[in-house]
Amino acid sequence: MDRLRSQVAYAPALTRNRSILLAGFVGICAFLLIFAPARADEETVIKSHGISAFGDLKYPEGFKHFDYVNPDAPKGGTFSTWAFGTFDSLTPYILKGQSASLSSIFFESLMTGSADEPDAMYGLLAESIEYPESRQWAIFNLRPEAKFSDGTPVTAEDVVFSFNILIEKGRPSLKSTFSDFENVEALSPLRVKFTFKEGVNTRELPLAAAGLPVFSKAYYADRDFAESTLEAPLGSGRYVLNRVVPGKTVSYRARDDYWGKNLNVNVGRENFEFLQFEYFSDYTAAFEAFKGGAYNFREEYLSKLWATSYDFPSLQKGWVKAETLPDGNPSGTQGFWFNMRKEKFQDPRVREALGLMFNFEWSNKTLFYDLYERTDSFWENSDLEAKGPITPEENAMLEPLKADLPQSVFTEDAYTPVVSKPDPLDRAVFRRAGKMLDEAGWKIVDGVRKNAKGETLSVEFLNDSPSFDRIINPYIENLIKLGVDAKNTFIDAAQENERRKTFDYDITTQRYVMSLTPGIELRSIFSSETANTPGSSNLTGLANPAIDALIKIIEGAKTREDLKVAVRALDRSLRAMHIWIPQWYKGSHNIAYLDIYEYPEALPPYAMGEMDFWWYSEQKAQKLKQAGAF
C-alpha cells in the first residue's frame, strides 16, 4: 500500500489511543504542582497529578475529562476493522511470535497521555507522581481501587515485577530503553520508586517509568512470560479477550466491572463494547471484504483505491461515509530502509545513487493520482524538520561532532531528494546515479555493476503486499537499467516479520510514527546500542558516535526550543547519511466507515481516536438495519 502500517518504538509516543500508548510512551513533568517539604539536600520534591517534558500541563488537578471527548457518549456496540497478515500470539512484549493487533490493550500503565498535548501524562494506575527537580528518581502512588480483571489489587510489587520481567524476558531492545534505570523498589504496597543512574539525562526517564505496562506478578508465577501464547492474559484494562480465531479474527470485550471507568482520564473514552479485527493477507481483498460488510471501518492507504474505487453501492446510498480527517502528527518517516550491516551498502554514494533511481514524481502522477507529497525529513510535516543551510545554533551543536558526520551537513542545504521529470526514467538523474556508482567502484561489466572483486551489486526488496508491486517494480526496472541486479521478493507477513527480527534483508519498507517530543525511543531506531539487537527498530544498523551524541543531547534538552534545535540537527545529519530512500506522505487520514459511528465535533490534533473516543449510535444502526444495509 502507499503508506505502510506504522511502527512505534517502546518509548514516548504522542497518541492517546491506549493500544499505541502501551507500545510506546508519552511525555513528562508538571505545571500545577503541589510541593512537598524540602529534603535534607534542599532539592524541591514535586508532587503532581501529571507530568510533561517541559513543565506544562493543560489540565489542572481534579479536571473532569479531556476537552476533546464527549462525556455523555453512550457505551456499547461493536467497532470492527481489518488487520494485515496473520498472528499467533497475544503476548506483544516478547520477541517470539507475531502478536495480534491491539493485544497490548489488556494492560494499563502508571500514567496515560492526552491527545491534545504533545507530551503530557496524567494518573491512571497511579494517582500521583513525586520527583525532585533533577528527576533523579520518581515515586508513583498507586490507586487503592486499581484492580486486575480477576479482582486482585494492582500493587507496587506488580510494578517491580513488570520492570524486571521486561528486562529479563522482554524484547531485547527494551534493555536500551531502560539502560539508565538503576533500580525499582516497592516502598509500600501502593508506593513504588524508580531510581535512575547518576550522570545520565533524566528528563525522559520518569516518562519511561510512567508508561510501563503493569503485569500481575501472581499470574505469571506459574507461566513463562517469554513463551508466545494465545491464552488470554490477565490485565487491569477496560478490555478482556472475547474471541480469537488464530490468524483470522481477534476481538476484545469491555468488562462491566472495570475499576477505572469513572476516572477523569477515561470519561468519554473506551466507548465500544467490542473491538474486532479481521485479518487479510492482501490489501485489495480486504477492501472487497469491506465493501461486502465484513467489517465496518477502514483507513485507506492505497491511493489508487481511494481515487477510483470509492463509488460502490453502499457508499452511493449513504450507508457508508468517506471522509478525510486531519492528522497533526509528524507524518513523513516512511521509506525504503537500507540494511547497512551489509558491506555493499556501507558506501553512502551507493545508497544515494540507488535512491536517485526512485522516481517519485512519475509515481505520484501515474500511480498515486497526485495525492501525495515527497518526504524529505524524518520529522516531515512538523516544526522539527531541518530546512535550508545549517543554522548557527545547529552548527554550534554539530561542530564538535564533525569528524563523524558527512561534510555536506555543514556545506549544503539539508538534503532533499532530487526532483525528477515525471517520466519513467529521468536521463539526467540516471547519469548522475551512474557516475556515483562508478566513483564508488561499481563499474559496468557486461551490462552489470561489479566491484573490483568481481561481485555483482545486487539488491533485494522485501515485500509482503501484492499491491505494493506496482510501486516497487518500476523502481526495479530503473535500477536494472543502471546495471543493478535488483529484484522484488514477495513473502508473507509472518516471514517478513521473522526476517526483520534477524536483519535478513537488503531493503525493507517501514513507516515510523515520530514523536513531537523525541527522546528515548530514538535509541531503538538510530542508536549504536540497538544496531545489532535482534528485533530492534534500528533497521539500517546505524552505529555512529555523532548520532549517539545527538540522541543524548535531545534526551537532555531543558527547553522546547533547545529540543527543536537538537532534533533539527539530528534530522539534518541523518538525511546527509542516506540511510533510507524517503517515500511520500499525506498529512491527513482517508477513512470510510459504516454510518453507525459518531465522533466529537472537534477532534484533537494528535489522535483520530476511532477505537477510543468515538462511539456507536444505536439510532443510526437501527435506521441502517431497516434499510437493509446489514
The C-alpha cell 480477576 sits at: 150
Q: What is the pLDDT of residues 231-242, one digit of tens each?
A: 999 999 999 999
Domain boundaries, the chain: 6-222, 334-585
- Rounded to whole angstroms, the Cα distance separating 567 from 399 reads 15
- Rounded to whole angstroms, the Cα distance separating 505 from 508 reads 7
Supply the pLDDT for residue 42: 64
Task: Look up the pTM and report it.
Answer: 0.90
Say which residue, 452 or 3, is predicted with more confidence.
452
Helix (H) or strand (E) segment spanning residue 131: strand 126-132
For all residues of the chain together, what is the average pLDDT? 92
End-to-end CA distance of the chain: 28
Supply the pLDDT for residue 331: 78
Sign of CA dihedral 340, 343, 345, 349: positive
The one-character DSSP state at 306 is H
Supply the pLDDT for residue 467: 84
- Rounded to whole angstroms, the Cα distance separating 585 from 99 reads 27
Supply the pLDDT for residue 2: 64
Supply the pLDDT for residue 440: 98
Listed in sequence order, the DSSP H helices in 135-191 are: 156-169, 174-177
Phi-psi region at 440: left, alpha or beta (left = phi > 0; alpha = psi -120 to 50): alpha
Cβ proximity of 85 and 258 under 8 Å = no
Cβ proximity of 261 and 66 under 8 Å = no
Q: What is the pLDDT of residues 162-198, one digit of tens each?
A: 999 999 999 998 888 899 999 999 999 999 999 999 9
Cβ proximity of 162 and 211 under 8 Å = no
Cβ proximity of 491 and 465 under 8 Å = no
- Confidence grade of residue 12 (pLDDT, cut at 50, 70, 90): very low
- Rounded to whole angstroms, the Cα distance separating 113 from 124 reads 9
Supply the pLDDT for residue 21: 34
Average the pLDDT over 192-208 and give the result.
96
Residue 524: C-alpha distances to residues 10, 191, 512, 529, 581 (Å): 8, 30, 11, 8, 19
Q: What is the pLDDT of residues 519-528, one digit of tens each?
A: 999 999 999 9
Cβ proximity of 56 and 590 under 8 Å = no
What percent of the chain is modeled with pLDDT above 90?
A: 89
16-25, 301-310, 407-416: least confidently modelled range: 16-25
- Confidence grade of residue 18 (pLDDT, cut at 50, 70, 90): very low
Q: How many residues does the chain have?
A: 630
Supply the pLDDT for residue 9: 37
- With CA atoms as reference, report the closest residue to 436 among 584, 578, 337: 578
- Rounded to whole angstroms, the Cα distance separating 494 from 581 reads 24
Cβ proximity of 32 and 545 under 8 Å = no
Q: What is the pLDDT of residues 449-507, one digit of tens each?
A: 999 999 999 999 999 988 899 999 999 999 999 999 999 999 998 899 999 999 999 99
- Rounded to whole angstroms, the Cα distance separating 488 from 460 reads 6
Supply the pLDDT for residue 43: 80
- With CA atoms as reference, report the closest residue to 155 among 118, 190, 184, 112: 190
Torsion of CA 299, 301, 306, 308, to 10 degrees: -140
Cβ proximity of 154 and 146 under 8 Å = yes
CATH number of 334-585: 3.10.105.10
- With CA atoms as reference, report the closest residue to 583 among 303, 349, 326, 282: 303
The C-alpha cell 471527548 sits at: 69
- With CA atoms as reference, report the closest residue to 283 among 594, 1, 508, 5: 1
Residues of 402-439 as b/e, b for ≥16 C-beta within 10 angstroms? eeebbebbbeeebbebbebeeeebbeebbeebbebbee
- With CA atoms as reference, report the closest residue to 123 among 107, 138, 140: 140
The C-alpha cell 552489470 sits at: 448
Sequence-distant (≥ 6) Cβ neighbours of residue 256 within 8 angstroms: none
Torsion of CA 16, 17, 21, 27, to 10 degrees: 0
75 backbone dihedrals φ, ψ, rounded to 5° = -100, 140
Maximum alpha-carbon separation in the chain: 79
Supply the pLDDT for residue 55: 87
pLDDT of 41 over the 80 cut: no
Supply the pLDDT for residue 13: 30
Strand spans (E) along 157-312: 181-188, 191-196, 239-245, 249-254, 274-280, 297-299
Supply the pLDDT for residue 316: 96
The one-character DSSP state at 334 is E
For 413, the grid coordinates are: 542545504
Class of 6-222 per CATH?
A: alpha beta
Supply the pLDDT for residue 533: 94
